[in-house]
Structure 1
Amino acid sequence: MASTPLLRSRGFAVHPASHARFDDVRAMLGPKNPTSSVCWCLSHRLPAKDNRELAGPARGAYVESLTRRSTKPGVLAYDGDDVVGWAAVAPRADLPFARSTKIPHVDDQPVWSVWCIRVRPGHRGRGISHVLLEGAVAYAARRGAPVVEGYPVDNRGEKVDLTMAYVGTRKLFEDAGFELAARTDATSAGHPRVVMRRAT
C-alpha cells in the first residue's frame, strides 16, 4: 500500500482514508463487536435522523462507501505501518454543520470542517493530534479548500473528559495556526465551543 503521504511530521506520516486503507479506518473507528452501533464518526456527518436509523454493521458499510468516493472522509496517521490516529475532514456544506443553529457561519466561503480527532490508545501524548490536524488541513487544501475550520472546546487549560475530547481544544488549533473566528452556542463536556479558522 505504498503511496506518498500528505505530510510527514514528528516521525509520523499522514494519508487520506482511501478504500485501500479501510481496514485501518475500521481499526480507528469500528467496534470490537461488528454488530455494535458505535459512532463510526458519523454522528456529525449525517443528519440526526439518518444517523439514528443506521445501525450495527450498516454503519461500517456506510463508512466503507465513503472511502470509495473521490473525496475521502478523513485522514489517517501512521507510525511506520501502524495506524495511530484519525481526523475527519470534509466540506462543511456536506455536513449537518451547514444547518447548525448553534455553530455560526462566519462567511460564505466554501470552508471545510475538521470535527473529530482520535488517537489510538497507547499512543497518546506523542503529538499525534497535532500531526492529524496538519494532515487534515493539507488534505483540504489539496482538494481546493480556501479555509479550514474546527469547533474545539475553549477549556482554558482545564482537563477535558477524554470521551468528549475528540473535538479538540482551542490550544491545539491555535498551535496549528488557527485563529478564533466566532463564539458558538454549543458546548462539549461542559466547556464552550468556538469556531477556529485557518486559511490554506
Structure 2
Amino acid sequence: MSTITTEPATTARWNDVQRALTGGGDGASCQCMWPILRNKDWNQTSTPQRTEMFRAEIDEGPPPGLVAYVDGEAAGWIRVGPRPRQARIPHTRMIAAATTEAFDDESVWAVTCVVVRREHRGVGLTAALLRAAVEYARDAGARVLEAYPVDTRGEQQRANDLYHGTLGTFLRAGFQQKTVMKPGRVLVALDLSGNANR
C-alpha cells in the first residue's frame, strides 16, 4: 500500500511543487497565481512571469501551500493561506456576496486550489491534502477556513474547474455548507476557533 505524506511548500521543495502542478490540467501555465492576481493583472502576465512570481512567493514565505507525496514522489498540491493575501477572492462577485467574513481579516484563511497528478488520482490525495491544510491553518492561528468547491452532484462540470475541489470532499472533512453562490459552486467554511471540529 502506498504511503501518502504532505509537506509545506518551501524553496527547497520548489522542484516538487513544479512536478505536482504539471501533471495535468492548467497547473503548468497557471502556476497557482490565479487566486493571487486580479483579472487585469492576470491578463498582463505570461507563464514565465507567473512562474517567477510563484517562486518569489515561496522564497519569501510563509509557505503558501502544501505538497503531497506518494511513496516520496511529488504528486499533488494545495494552496492554503490567509484570504487577504489572495487578491482575486474579494473581487469575485459571487464570493463577495456570499461570505460573512471581512476581507481584511487575516484570521480568515482560504483553500483556493487543489491539483493532483493524473497518475495519482483516485487514491485519496485530495482528502489527505485537505486534512493537512486544515491542520496547517489551525497551527498558524487561523480562525476560519473557507473554500469555494464545485458541487458535482448536479450538472456535468468541466474537469478544469475541479481545481476548486469538490463539495463532497470538503463536507467529509467537516466543512459546513454556507451558501450556494451559483449552480454548481458552493461556499463552505470550517470554524477553527473552538474544539467543535478538532
SS at 1:102's partner residue? helix
Give the secondary structure class of the aligned counterpart of 1:88: strand
Q: Partner amino acid for 1:66?
A: E
The answer to whether the Cα contact below 8 Å between 1:90 and 1:112 also exists between their aligned partners in 2 is: yes
- Deviation of 1:141 (Å): 1.5
Contact 2:23 2:118 in 1 (8 A): no
Unaligned runs of 5+ in 2: 193-198
1:4 paired residue number: none
Structure 2 Cα separation of the partners of residues 31 and 64 of structure 1:
18
Secondary structure of the 2:32 match is: coil
Q: What's 2:195 paired with? A: none
One-letter amino acid of the structure 1 residue matched with residue 69 of structure 2: Y
Show CA shifts across 1:51-89 (max 9, x none): 121213221111111111232121100112200110011
2:185 corresponding residue in structure 1: 193
The code of the aligned residue for 2:82 comes to P
Query: How much has 1:28 moved relative to structure 2?
Result: 2.2
From 94, 99, 104, the counterpart of 1:102: 94
* Structure showing the higher helix proportion among its residues: 2
Q: Whole-Å Cα distance in 1 between the matches of residues 121 and 22 of structure 2? A: 19
- 1:169 corresponds to which letter in structure 2? T
Partner of 1:182: 179
Superposition deviation, residue 158 in structure 1: 5.8
CA distance in structure 2 between the partners assigned to 1:128 and 1:97 by the alignment: 25
2:10 aligned with 1:13: no
Identity of aligned residues (%): 33
Using the alignment, how far apart are the partners of 2:70 and 2:108 within structure 1? 29
**How many aligned positions are there?**
182
Structure 1 residue corresponding to 2:144, chosen from 143, 147, 170: 147
Paired position in structure 2 for 1:70: 61
TM-score by length of 1: 0.83
**Is this contact kept in 1: 2:110–2:146, CA < 8 A?**
yes
Over residues 150-171 of structure 1, what are the superposed CA-to-partner deviations in whole Å (9 max), with x where a residue is unaligned? Answer: 1011222665432221111111
- In the aligned structure 2, how far is the partner of 1:131 from the partner of 1:31? 18
Structure 1's 12 and 71: CA in aligned 2 closer, same or farther, altered over 3 A?
same
Report the Cα distance in structure 2 between the residues aligned to 1:54 and 1:121, rounded to whole angstroms.
Answer: 27
Return closer, same or farther for 1:137/1:128 CA change in 2, 3 Å cut-off.
Answer: same
Provide the aligned C-alpha RMSD in A: 2.1
Which SS does the other structure have where 1:116 is aligned?
strand
Q: Is the 8 A contact 1:13 1:79 kept in 2?
A: yes
Could you tell me which runs of 5 or more consecutive residues in structure 1 were left unpaired when the two chains were aligned: 1-9, 186-190
